[in-house]
């Protein structure tokens, strides 16, 4: 059995050399961040590589918060060059970035709409943000005196007599998701603010305001369906009574099976989101590490591709993938920020 011991010796040697031989500089761009921006960033990366013949950027979907954490950890080849976010950078994150010697270049890339949709076999819904708040909040106000009671509604017509007499059943993302954050901030808060005393609470006691507006009920009416939007779509198909919450690009791709509800009388479509009329839409951002962009020329080229009209313009390929382009002026402003590499100093 001499062979066996030689085999072991060889494989150990290979294993050891594998570990030692890897510390080297990388030549590809590293991108982390939001899973909402992921499908758009990947298309840009692909086009960028094809056009320039440069090494393909590596894109990880870590979520907006996770991406920021990695991005702000410092500079050097072990840290990512770019992070995407489906919300703006927070003051605390910016501070941490700056403390670690990272100056982020902020580029808003476009908008994303959040669809509240049901199966095409059912009648389409016309909802308001107030309806959504009353149907989904953990506690709802009763009367005008500032009293809260645990959400008693089980049928849509109890929330609003104009809605069908149908059980409230909503499939949506879990709290870790950026879509959920945006839904809570845009739809639930929007409904919340129709009550004057709650609106006043925002100035007085922010924590209490958030507790009222941001808490989604946990009695089985709102069903957390994981981060996979395709799963929600499949469930809507088998259950015509349910509503689902997911990104606009999924609605766009599956328009033969599901239909989006109108919110506050505005239909969800490309034009209405782009015009800013559809109330539940959010901006998408890309943050680039200036320190890396200075030394790695590919990053500037990648930013140029992302901010080219062919990509983020009205008829660009990102619009084809379901991203809502920004108006002309905003594109010009953020395009210039990307080109001149103006770092974000403060919010």
Partner 1 sequence: MSKTTEKVKAGLAKRYARERRFRRFGLASIILSMVFLAVLLLTIFSNGLPAFTQTYLKFEVDLSAEVLGVDANAEQAALRAASYSTVIKNTLAASFPEVKKRKQKKALRKLVSSNAPYRLQQMVMANPQLIGTRQSVWFLADDDIDTFFKGNIDRTLPESSRRIKDFQLVWLDKLSAEGKVEKRFNTEFFSRGDSREPEQAGILGALMGSLYTMLVTIMLSFPIGVAAAIYLEEFAPKDNRWVDLIEVNINNLAAVPSIVFGLLGLAIFIQLFGVPRSTPLVGGLVLTLMTLPTIIIASRAALKAVPPSIREAALGLGASRVQTVFHHVLPLAMPGILTGTIIGMAQALGETAPLLMIGMVAFIIDIPGGISDPAAALPVQIYLWSDSPERAFTERTSAAIIVLLFFLVMMNLIAVMLRKKFERRW
- Comparing CB distances to partner 1, the nearer of 86 and 254 is 254
Q: Is 308 in the site for partner 1 (CB under 8 A)?
A: no
Contacting range for partner 1; rule: CB under 8 A; set: 26-34, 98-106, 278-286, 325-333: 26-34
> For partner 1, how many residues bind (rule: CB under 8 A)?
53
Measured CA to CA in angstroms, residue 229 lies from 96, 180, 188, 250 at distances of 32, 12, 20, 7
Neighbours of 287 (CB within 10 A): 29
Smallest distance from the beta carbon of 228 to partner 1, in angstroms?
A: 5
Smallest distance from the beta carbon of 167 to partner 1, in angstroms?
A: 25
Distance between CA atoms of residues 220 and 183, nearest Å: 18
- Comparing CB distances to partner 1, the nearer of 12 and 332 is 12
Instruction: State the binding string over 96-125 for partner 1 (x if CB under 8 A, else -).
Output: ------------------------x-----
Distance between CA atoms of residues 191 and 199, nearest Å: 10
* Binds partner 1 by CB under 8 A, chosen from 55, 101, 174, 240: 55
- Comparing CB distances to partner 1, the nearer of 170 and 319 is 319
18-39 residues labelled b (16+ CB within 10 A) or e (exposed): eeeeeeeeeeebbbbbbbbbbb
- Comparing CB distances to partner 1, the nearer of 249 and 272 is 249
Residues 225-264 that bind partner 1 (CB under 8 A): 227-230, 247, 249-250, 252-256
Smallest distance from the beta carbon of 95 to partner 1, in angstroms?
A: 22
- Comparing CB distances to partner 1, the nearer of 181 and 252 is 252
Instruction: State the binding string over 260-299 for partner 1 (x if CB under 8 A, else -).
Output: ----------------------------------------
Residue in the block written with tokens 């580029």: 107
Q: Is 4 in the site for partner 1 (CB under 8 A)?
A: yes
Smallest distance from the beta carbon of 301 to partner 1, in angstroms?
A: 15
Smallest distance from the beta carbon of 78 to partner 1, in angstroms?
A: 6
Smallest distance from the beta carbon of 23 to partner 1, in angstroms?
A: 7
Locate 14 and state its tokens: 């290979």
Contacting range for partner 1; rule: CB under 8 A; set: 14-22, 151-159, 285-293, 337-345: 14-22
Q: How many CA atoms lie within 13 A of 174 on its CB side?
A: 8
Q: Do residues 31 and 80 touch, judged by C-beta distance below 8 A?
A: yes
- Comparing CB distances to partner 1, the nearer of 41 and 326 is 41
Distance between CA atoms of residues 57 and 318, nearest Å: 17
Task: Label residue 42 exposed, middle or buried (CB < 10 Å: 0-12, 13-18, 19+).
Answer: middle
* Binds partner 1 by CB under 8 A, chosen from 6, 26, 157, 218: 26
154-166 residues labelled b (16+ CB within 10 A) or e (exposed): eebeebeeebeeb
Q: Is 176 in the site for partner 1 (CB under 8 A)?
A: no
Task: Concatenate the DSSP letters of all residues of 78-97 into one string.
Answer: TS-SEEEESSPPPHHHHHHH
Task: Label residue 143 exposed, middle or buried (CB < 10 Å: 0-12, 13-18, 19+).
Answer: exposed
- Comparing CB distances to partner 1, the nearer of 67 and 141 is 67
Q: Which of 311, 280, 230, 263 is nearest to 46 (CA)?
A: 311
Distance between CA atoms of residues 172 and 226, nearest Å: 8
Measured CA to CA in angstroms, residue 124 lies from 115, 128, 157 at distances of 12, 13, 15
Q: Is 21 in the site for partner 1 (CB under 8 A)?
A: yes
> What is the binding site for partner 1 (CB under 8 A)?
1, 4-5, 8, 11-12, 14-15, 18-19, 21-24, 26, 28, 30, 35, 38-39, 41-43, 45-46, 49-50, 53, 55-56, 58-61, 78, 120, 227-230, 247, 249-250, 252-256, 315, 317, 320-322
């Amino acid at each position: 059995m001499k062979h066996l011991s030689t085999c072991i010796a060889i494989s150990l040697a290979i294993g050891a050399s594998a570990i030692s031989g890897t510390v080297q500089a990388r030549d590809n761009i590293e991108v982390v961040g939001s899973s909402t921006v992921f499908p758009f960033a990947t298309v840009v990366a692909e086009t960028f590589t094809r056009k320039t013949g440069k090494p393909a950027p590596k894109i990880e979907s870590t979520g907006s918060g996770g991406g920021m954490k990695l991005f702000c950890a410092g500079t050097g080849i072990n840290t990512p060059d770019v992070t995407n976010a489906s919300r703006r950078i927070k003051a605390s994150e910016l501070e941490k970035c700056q403390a670690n010697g990272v100056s982020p270049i902020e580029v808003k890339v476009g908008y994303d709409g959040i669809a509240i949709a049901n199966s095409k076999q059912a009648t389409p819904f016309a909802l308001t943000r107030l309806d959504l708040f009353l149907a989904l909040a953990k506690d709802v106000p009763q009367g005008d005196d500032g009293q809260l009671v645990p959400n008693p509604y089980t049928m849509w017509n109890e929330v609003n007599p104009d809605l069908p007499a149908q059980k409230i059943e909503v499939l949506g993302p879990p709290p870790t998701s950026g879509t959920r954050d945006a839904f809570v901030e845009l739809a639930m808060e929007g409904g919340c603010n129709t009550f004057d005393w709650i609106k006043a609470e925002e100035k007085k006691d922010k924590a209490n305001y958030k507790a009222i507006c941001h808490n989604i009920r946990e009695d089985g009416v709102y069903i957390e369906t994981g981060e996979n939007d395709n799963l929600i779509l499949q469930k809507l198909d088998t259950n015509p009574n349910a509503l689902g919450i997911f990104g606009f690009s999924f609605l766009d791709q599956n328009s033969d099976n599901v239909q989006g509800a109108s919110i506050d009388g505005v239909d969800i479509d490309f034009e209405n989101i782009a015009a800013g009329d559809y109330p539940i839409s959010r901006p998408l951002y890309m943050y680039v590490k200036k320190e890396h962009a200075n030394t790695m020329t590919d990053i500037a080229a990648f930013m140029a591709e992302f901010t080219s009209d062919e990509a983020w313009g009205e008829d660009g390929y990102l619009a084809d993938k379901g991203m809502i382009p920004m108006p002309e002026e905003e594109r010009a402003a953020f395009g210039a920020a990307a080109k001149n590499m103006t770092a974000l100093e403060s919010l």
